[in-house]
Amino acid sequence: MTNELAGAAELLDAGDIPGTVRALRPLADTAPLKDLAKLVHRLAAAAGVDDLAGAAKSLARKHGRPQELYDFGYACVEHDLAFLAVPALREALRQLPGSRRVRAELVSALERENRNAEAMAVLAAVGDELPAWPERYLLVHNSLLAGDLSAARDAFDLLPAPDDAKWEWAHGRVSHMLRRTEGAAQAGPLDHRDLRGWHYALTGGYLAVLSPYGFDSSMTGRYAYLGDTVELCRQGLDRLALVLRTTGRAPRSVSLLPGRSDRILGLAAAQILGLPAEPYDPQRTDTLVVAYDINGVEPDVAVTLRRRPAGQILFEHATCWTNPPVATADVNTFLAQTVVEPWGATMRMGDNGVEQSPPDNRPERDIAAEITRADGTPDAGDGATPPDGDAVFGAFVAATSAGWATAPRDRVDAIGPVPSSRFA
């Protein structure tokens, strides 16, 4: 075992499987593949992941053969260890530069790691011989996610309409993204710090609130952990009302999803907007559907949110950016990795150390009324976040409203060109 991997090996010897994975992440691209495969074999065996253990063992024994490299990379991707797949698949593609299968798996691994500029480079290296579907589509998509608009537009100009109906959604997806980038570029810088602009360009949704903490120390507008407050709930609903006024949308009701948090926020929205509240019906038109966190909605209900009945607006308060929901909302209050609801159980320091406080079990309408009474004035934060008052947000909405709420609510499982730090 090389010195480079010794620390990870020690963690594995101690039985710390998650720690071993974390230790391997910064080493995977530079460690000798044979040694990496040996350690991954031990890791996978300890975790009971037999197919990965077998693929790693084969790679360690037959180091450097394309089939073993591919099998190892494929198994790593399948088990959400795409960062381990990348070096093996790169080597396989070096040996078999014309292999579409190897190239596709490498691009998939890089995409899962949000290494979109690298995926773009792998595809662009093929040149004019790059097949249209799906490779040139993937070049457009990864160029967008990397923030390279010029390359994305050039690749799209060479992308023919698909002959196979299964690719029509993909063609439409990048078409909508490119159109939205035009509006976002008029409304803001659309650079690697313009979280709101890129959120709109890639998802079609309006990001109502930028995190006012840590913007210039790697968060760039997202939260990692957030203990939510009724004040932030109120601010989000006030920004939602601003969107509706600015775009001229006038839903006739608020649709309440069945979850407790969804109902609390939906009842508050109905009070603030002066609309009747009624149970969610996927077929209902001209309504505002309110979700606290779509990832918390029952899966069979959440999947129905991908449809867009006439006039329906989907609002999500707390959007997970590390595990995006199945449906992209039309308006999101904020992006966070982990959130505790204002009425949820929380951790606090007690007489006996850290303890859990009970959730707020008051009736839903009582908590909703507290939200309506709350002060939604934006948090001043640490002063490093760019101006994010109502006027700034309203101007962005006004400049981009023509392209808003017109495309499918596809899941967008990439963070795009604006990076943020996250918990490992």
pLDDT in tens, 256-289: 999 999 999 999 999 999 999 999 999 999 999 9
CATH topology of domain 1-113: 1.25.40
Q: Name the E strands within 157-236.
A: 206-207, 223-227
pLDDT, residue 387, reads 94
Residue 347 scores a pLDDT above 70: no
Work out the pLDDT band at 423, boundaries 50, 70, 90: confident
pLDDT, residue 350, reads 64
3-state DSSP assignment of residue 85? helix
Mean pLDDT over 375-379 rounds to 96
pLDDT, residue 178, reads 98
Tokens for 400?
Answer: 């981009």
Mean pLDDT over 406-411 rounds to 94
Q: Which residue shows structure tokens 């009070």?
A: 271
CATH class for the region spanning 192-403: alpha beta
Work out the pLDDT band at 356, boundaries 50, 70, 90: confident
Distance CA 134, CA 112 (A): 17
**Residue 320's beta-bridge partner residues?**
336
Mean pLDDT score of the chain: 96
Mean pLDDT over 315-320 rounds to 98
For the chain, what percent of residues have pLDDT higher than 70? Answer: 97
pLDDT, residue 349, reads 62
Residue 201 scores a pLDDT above 90: yes
pLDDT (tens digit, 9 = 90+) per residue, 214-256? 999 999 999 999 999 999 999 999 999 999 999 999 999 999 9
Residue 141 scores a pLDDT above 80: yes
Which among 191, 120, 187 is positioned nearest to 417, based on CA atoms? 191
Do domains 1-113 and 192-403 share one topology? The answer is: no
pLDDT, residue 33, reads 95
Mean pLDDT over 54-62 rounds to 94
CA dist 403 → 187, 193, 272 (Å) = 12, 22, 26
pLDDT, residue 357, reads 83
Which among 402, 254, 264, 235 is positioned nearest to 332, based on CA atoms? 235
**Pairing verdict, β 353-357 and 346-350:** antiparallel
Work out the pLDDT band at 208, boundaries 50, 70, 90: very high
Distance CA 259, CA 373 (A): 22
Residue 1 scores a pLDDT above 60: no
Which among 210, 194, 182 is positioned nearest to 390, based on CA atoms? 210
pLDDT (tens digit, 9 = 90+) per residue, 179-189? 999 999 999 99
CA dist 187 → 81, 181, 213, 276 (Å) = 38, 10, 23, 34
Tokens for 293?
Answer: 């966190």
DSSP 114: T
**Residue 348's beta-bridge partner residues?**
355
> What distance, in Å, lies between the first and last C-alpha atoms of the chain?
25
What one-character-per-residue DSSP string does 309-355 give?
A: -TT-EEEEEEEESSS--SS--SEEEEEEEEEE-TTS-EEEEETTEEE
Mean pLDDT over 96-125 rounds to 98
pLDDT, residue 64, reads 82
The amino acid sitting at 14 is A
Cα of 262 vs its chain's centroid, Å? 21
Domain edges within the chain: 1-113, 116-190, 192-403
Cα of 30 vs its chain's centroid, Å? 28
Mean pLDDT over 385-404 rounds to 96
Mean pLDDT over 198-203 rounds to 98
Residue 91 scores a pLDDT above 90: yes
Q: Which residue shows structure tokens 């010029």?
A: 150
**Residue 318's beta-bridge partner residues?**
334
Work out the pLDDT band at 173, boundaries 50, 70, 90: very high
Residue 4 scores a pLDDT above 90: no
* CB distance 177 to 193 below 8 Å: no
pLDDT, residue 351, reads 64
pTM for this one? 0.94
Q: Name the E strands within 146-245.
A: 206-207, 223-227
Q: Which helix (H) or strand (E) holds 290?
A: strand 287-291
Give me the long-range contacts of 48-52 (CB less than 8 A, separation at least 24). Answer: 49/79, 51/75, 51/78, 52/76, 52/78, 52/79, 52/81
